[in-house]
Structure formats: structure tokens, C-alpha cells
Amino acid sequence: MEENKRLLELIKRFKRGKVLVIGDIILDEFVWGKVSRISPEAPVPVVEVTRENIMLGGAANVLKNIHALGGQALLIGVIGNDYNGERLLNILKKEGYSTDGIIIDQTRQTSIKTRVIAQHQQVVRFDKESREELTNKTYKMVVELLLSQLSKFDAVIVSDYGKGLINRGIVTNIVKFKKRNGIIVSVDPKIRNFKFYKGVTVITPNQKEAEEACGFEINSDKALIKAGTYLLKRYETDAILITRGEHGMSLFLKDGTIKHIPTIAKEVYDVTGAGDTVISALSLSLAVKSHWIDACIISNHAAGIVVGKLGTATASAKELTESILHNSEKAL
């Protein structure tokens, strides 16, 4: 099939793509166990812990996704001078990622999300995090680093988890550079910060985020089209990609093109980090000059892979190739 040929060639070009990631860095901690009884102290399950592990989360997971797909990336973000920050830096170094973009702020704590999982289901999550805005000193350091790096990359991903790093000033600096140089700017949004994103290339809200940004429920195809069209116009973007879980994703382009892409996920075990995978695959595809629809198809395949895994997962270039070929065979 001609489409498959294009997609496979696109994946081969990923190694030439350079993506700058800026956003909220999070440490993802997983506590795995099994439940065989209810606590006599309260009506809650007793989890017998069998293992624990820590992984890169938030913007750091976007970095990991880009590398897994074969691309090149640098992460810019802020962590605290604490135990979890040290653990995060150790993971970055161990996995071979540059820490040149990591700024340590003595006044913040490193954000960590701890998930307890038993019998393939998340029992509870508890967060320790910084959500306050950056200090003036740290903000200036981030902007200086950002401006020194932008010209080295084909695309920028703004990974906004609402932990205080992404603000109007940072996005404005990126958009100004985009207007002068034509760089791709992709945003994985947080609803409270939508007002900052005007003029970026593409925003990738999930359906709930799109509903909150529009102010109405997306409960029909008509409402979906209304939402995508509204967001395009309101935020003056080239594209809006609304991810819709089991319903796949819907792409809206400023030239009037609307494309609905059905999900390919066979089984969904865990959606943790799926948004990171979508924006990583999309941005890396666009960085190597993919057409919008091909970039979204690639993203859809990548998302289908990671939701079939437990924990904060990534999709490799090999897995992506196999998914495209496998689903092509099914269609014959």
C-alpha cells in the first residue's frame, strides 16, 4: 500500500529529527503488588507489595519517547535540590540523556507521582509536587537557556503539566521565534494555561480538555466539529488534534481539512503517558517534514502501542513499524 510505504519511510527519517522539549519534569514512581484481602481497619484493599520502580515522567517522558522513536532531543526543565531530583538526574544519565537543560531550583521540590498498582489496576495515586510559578531568577535562567537552544532544533514541544514552569512569557518567546523561523511548536495543554498558547503550530488536547477549553460538551459529531473549529480560530493555530480515547483522534487544519482517525489499540491496560507519546510521535514526524495526516496516523499507532503496556511506557521505531505492517495485513 502506498500509505504504508510513506509511513515506513517517515519512520526511517526520524533519526534526523531534532526536537526541543520544555516543560514540567516529573518522577513517576510505581508500587506493584497484589490484593487478597480488605483491611480490618477500613474498607480498603490491602496491597502486598512485590516490587517498586521509578521512571521518567511528564516532560522527561516526552524526551524518552522521542529517543525511543529514534529522534534527537534535549529537555529543558526545573527540578529541586532534593532526593527525588537526584534520582531523576541519575535516571537521565543512566539512560544516556543530556542533563544540560536541567535547572536546579533550591526553592522547589521535585514533583513525584506515586501509583499503587495491583492486578493490573491502579489502586491509588498520591502526588508530591511544586505548582507555584517560577521565581524571577529561575524564570530568567529558563528563558536564557531556551533562547540559546531554539535555533538548533526542528520542533519544540511544550509539555505543560501545570506545575508552574509554562507561563505566558515562555510561550511568547517560543512563538516569536516560530514566526521568524518557521519552527514547529506543539503543545500538550493544561486547561488553566490555554490562554498562553495563541499562535503555536498545534495543540493536542484530549476530549475533556477540549470541552473545558470550548465551554461545551462534545457529545456528537456536530459538537466535535464545532469544538475543533472553535479552537483553531480562537488560538490561531495551524492545527488542533483532539485525542478521544477509544474513539481515536480528530485532526482539524486551518485550511478546513477534518480527519477522524480510528483507534488501533487492541487492549488498554494503562493510559499513563499516552498523551506524551502522541505529541512526541506527532512532533517528530512534523520535524522531518511529514504531512499532517501521516503524522497523526503515526501518532495513533504509537498511542495504541503504549496503552497496551503497564506504567509510563514508550513506543520504539521497531514497534511502530510492526504495528503499521500488522494492521495493514489485517485490513487485507
pLDDT tens for each residue of 187-221:
999 999 999 999 999 999 999 999 999 999 999 99
Q: Which of 24, 154, 238, 276 is catalytic?
A: 276
pLDDT digits (tens, 9 = 90+) for 9-43: 999 999 999 999 999 999 999 999 999 999 999 99
Q: Which one is predicted more confidently, 328 or 181? A: 181
Q: Across-strand partners of 188?
A: 159
Amino acid at 196: F
191: cell is 486547561
Interval 58-114: pLDDT, tens: 999 999 999 999 999 999 999 999 999 999 999 999 999 999 999 999 999 999 999
C-alpha cell at 97: 540523556
Q: Structure pTM? A: 0.94
* Helices 168-181 and 136-149: angle between axes, nearest 10 degrees: 20
Total Cβ atoms within 10 A of residue 20: 28
Residue 234 has pLDDT above 90, yes or no: yes
Residue 276: active-site member? yes
Q: What is the mean predicted confidence (pLDDT) over 165-171?
A: 97
The pLDDT value given to residue 269: 58
Q: Indicate the SS3 state at residue 5.
A: helix
Domains and CATH numbers, the chain: 2-36+47-331 (3.40.1190.20)
Q: What is the CA radius of gyration of the chain?
A: 20
